[in-house]
Structure 1
Amino acid sequence: MDLKIEVIVLPVADTERAKAFYDKLGFRLDLDTGPSTDFRCAHFTPPGSGCSIMFGEGMTAAEPGSVQGLYLI
């Protein structure tokens, strides 16, 4: 079986600030949707990567900045 990690959900405090950060790094914005005021999803993919990141409002109960041991290489 060929398994891959496709998406990592990052808890962020400020979606707009995170979007600006990853855009400046050259990540591709794949999706930015907010079907309600309680949920918003921004989805970015680094150039040449098979794994993406997602963040926004209502996506995770994890505290902003709590992800540890994740490296962008």
Structure 2
Amino acid sequence: MEWKLEVVPIPVTDVERAKKFYSEQVGFSVDLDSQVSEDVRLVQLTPPGSACSIHLNTGIAGPPPGTVRGLQIVVPDIEAARAELVERQVEVSPVRHYEGSDLVDGPGGRWNSFVFFDDPDGNGWVLQERAEGE
């Protein structure tokens, strides 16, 4: 039996602002934007090449905006991914890596290069470099 993570809910205060951030700045594809009722709106977006989407909504109970941290996306080239986000005016960290438990600037070895950024509500994302084919 296969188990596939399909959608991760991301709590936001303003769905339209979040939709613009994720689609226009981060580069996610908009899969669904549906006004279910006057009080309920659903927006689903997917990172390029990912089988898992994120879900933004209003009118549905969930955790408070800005409380989701550590969402991780793997990329084949951390420098290129960072440059793409900077070009789209996303505030990102420099490339960093772990030396023991310390996070320091600069690329690390295999699987040890990261870039961090937050959405407008403070939900936190991590890009991690994974070499092609791994």
Alignment of 1:51-66 (within 5 A): 51-66=52-67
Q: Are residues 1:43 and 2:36 paired?
A: no
Residue pair 1:41, 1:59 contacting (<8 A) in 2 also: no
Post-superposition CA distance 1:11-46 (Å, at most 9, x none): 101111101111122211111011212110000011
* 4+ runs deviating over 2 angstroms: none
2:64 alignment partner, SS class: coil
**Cα distance in 1 between the residues matched to 2:37 and 2:13:** 18
Cα distance in 2 between the residues matched to 1:30 and 1:40: 14
Gaps of 5+ in 1: none
Q: Distance in 1 between matches of 2:45 and 2:51?
A: 11
User: Which one scores higher on RCO, CA 8 angstroms, separation ≥ 6?
Assistant: 1
Shift in CA distance, 10/60, structure 1 to aligned 2, threshold 3 Å: farther
Count residues in correspondence.
73
Bigger radius of gyration among the two? 2
Report % sequence identity.
48
Asked if 2 retains the 8 angstrom alpha-carbon contact of 1:12 and 1:56, the reply is yes
Letter of the aligned partner of 2:44 in structure 1?
H
